[in-house]
Structure 1
Amino acid sequence: MPKPFLRRCLFYYVEFPEKATLKQIIQSHFKTDITRVSEPAIQKFGELRELRSWQKIPGTSEFLDWLRMLERDQQGNQSTAEALADTPTANLPHLETLVKTQQDHDVLSKTRIPD
């Protein structure tokens, strides 16, 4: 981005929420209780965020988008909480909702384990 633009921008670092806070955020966005798929999704998302290869680490907004996709799959009986918990991190469904850069996409694609 151009330097004149960046001089007019404010930068805030917002710490990623703890698990309890993340659950509250989920409840406020989904207007329901935590579903069965939420628990393994929170766990798997934590594992994904710990990967050192991220150029841009996915945040809360990306997590909520990913969770919406997982919830939709669960309603269509395409995935279950147990299946999500047992899936290797690189093979989780809808990882494209978490990726912000081409480099991150390429890294995740290379780590995918064939079925």
Structure 2
Amino acid sequence: MRFEGTTGYVATEDLRIAVNAAIALQRPLLVKGEPGTGKTVLAQEIASALGANLIEWHIKSTTKAQQGLYEYDAVSRLRDSQLGDDRVHDIANYIRKGRLWEAFTADERPVLLIDEIDKADIEFPNDLLRELDRMEFHVYETGETIAARQRPVVIITSNNEKELPDAFLRRCFFHYITFPDAETMSEIVEVHFPGLKQELLREALKMFYDIRDTPGLKKKPSTSELLDWIKLLLNEDVDAATLRERDGRKLIPPLHGALLKNEQDVQLFEKLAFLNRRDGR
């Protein structure tokens, strides 16, 4: 099983090496990077490239590790016992399987995505150490042990919102997705907008990277936001000449709501435009 990228996802050489190293080592691949750099989509594309089923576990701030294994619905069992339902005699009827249970018992080797693990409580990664290491867990209510039929390909994403424990990091193969340079970004845009006029692409990328390099910017626009912006440029028939205009009144890009996502950054560009007009630029 080797990942070489797909027609819909531009994977750099170092990313392909990282994915295949994690598969060979049978270790979870921990992927970090700026939001919008394709971490979540990577798991989808790996599953597609390997012809494997994708099992997704999207983590929230309230998610507990136990939910990935199973949950015992004691409330439903109590209600059924009060109603005289025969299901209460088999406790297995009240065990809800989690995503790890699904991955461990899959007939064929799946890809398991644990998305944005850093959103959960700091103890969340530690609570999964044994299960991800030994690929098994015990169901106390039924007395059974659920062991993986084959090790799933585990992809774990993080936005670096909080530090992950060292014990957890030791069990992972790590890769940081660096923000694409202009050449790689051109390839990504070509995948989504084949045949885009090169002049428009060149001017759009120049403005995009100029915005990202602006000192004091609170939130830099991401790859996904660039793709949204280009889609709007095409939809509104904005040409390359419009993007080339650099006078003080044009510092804020057209359709900037796709790139600038908070009022502080919009105000920053308005201030820069004002200063340029005042200085007669």
Partners of 1:54 and 1:104 within 8 A in 2: yes
Cα deviation for residue 53 of structure 1 reads 1.8
Cα deviation for residue 104 of structure 1 reads 1.7
Cα deviation for residue 106 of structure 1 reads 2.6
> Which of the numbers 218, 240, 243 marks the counterpart of 1:81?
240
- SS at 1:17's partner residue? coil
Inter-CA distance 6–81: structure 2 relative to 1 (3 Å threshold)? farther
Aligned to 1:43: 206
- For the residues of structure 2 that align with 1:23 and 1:93, how far apart are their CA atoms? 20
Which is helix-richer, 1 or 2? 1
Inter-CA distance 80–15: structure 2 relative to 1 (3 Å threshold)? same
Cα deviation for residue 4 of structure 1 reads 7.3
Matches within 5 A, 1:1-115: 5=120, 7=122, 8=124, 10-11=158-159, 13-30=176-193, 32-35=194-197, 36-74=199-237, 79-88=238-247, 90-112=251-273
- For the residues of structure 2 that align with 1:80 and 1:4, how far apart are their CA atoms? 41
Inter-CA distance 83–10: structure 2 relative to 1 (3 Å threshold)? closer
Aligned to 2:56: none
AA aligned to 1:96 is: G
Inter-CA distance 4–42: structure 2 relative to 1 (3 Å threshold)? closer
Q: If the length of structure 1 is used for normalisation, what is the TM-score?
A: 0.75
- For the residues of structure 2 that align with 1:4 and 1:39, how far apart are their CA atoms? 36
- SS at 1:91's partner residue? coil
Structure 2: stretches of 5+ with no match in the other structure: 1-59, 62-117, 125-156, 161-175
The Cα offsets for residues 28-52 of structure 1, whole Å up to 9 and x where unpaired, read as 112x123231110001111111101
The Cα offsets for residues 86-106 of structure 1, whole Å up to 9 and x where unpaired, read as 244623201111122232233
- For the residues of structure 2 that align with 1:86 and 1:105, how far apart are their CA atoms? 18
The Cα offsets for residues 48-95 of structure 1, whole Å up to 9 and x where unpaired, read as 111012111111111111111111222xxxx32122112446232011
Inter-CA distance 5–73: structure 2 relative to 1 (3 Å threshold)? same
Name the stretch that deviates more: 1-10 or 101-110.
1-10
Q: Which has the higher contact order (CA 8 A, sep 6+)?
A: 1
- SS at 1:34's partner residue? coil
Which is strand-richer, 1 or 2? 2
Of all paired residues, the percent bearing the same amino acid is: 25
- For the residues of structure 2 that align with 1:111 and 1:39, how far apart are their CA atoms? 23
Larger radius of gyration: 2
Aligned to 2:45: none
Structure 1: stretches of 5+ with no match in the other structure: none
